[in-house]
Amino acid sequence: MKNPIKEEFLKKSTNQEMLEIAQILTKVERNGLLVEVMYSALRAMKDDPNSSPLLCLQIAAEDWDI
């Protein structure tokens, strides 16, 4: 299921970190683990506030074998 708003935003986006986050979330969503990965990433951000959102998502996705 494509989201035209998301697609248009990504076309216009020049922020590399945002693009990487979007790619991770797309993979996670395809694997049906969006809630689990997001929860893990949010916990990681709470535990280490100095971590970037991208890093926390990367770690969470890896933990869930995505």
Q: What is the pLDDT of residue 1?
A: 64
Residue 13 pLDDT grade (very low, low, confident, very high; cuts 50, 70, 90):
low
Nearest to 66 by CA among 35, 44, 46, 53: 35
Q: What is the pLDDT of residue 28?
A: 96
Nearest to 41 by CA among 24, 18, 57, 65: 57
Nearest to 57 by CA among 30, 31, 27: 27
The pTM for the full model equals 0.76
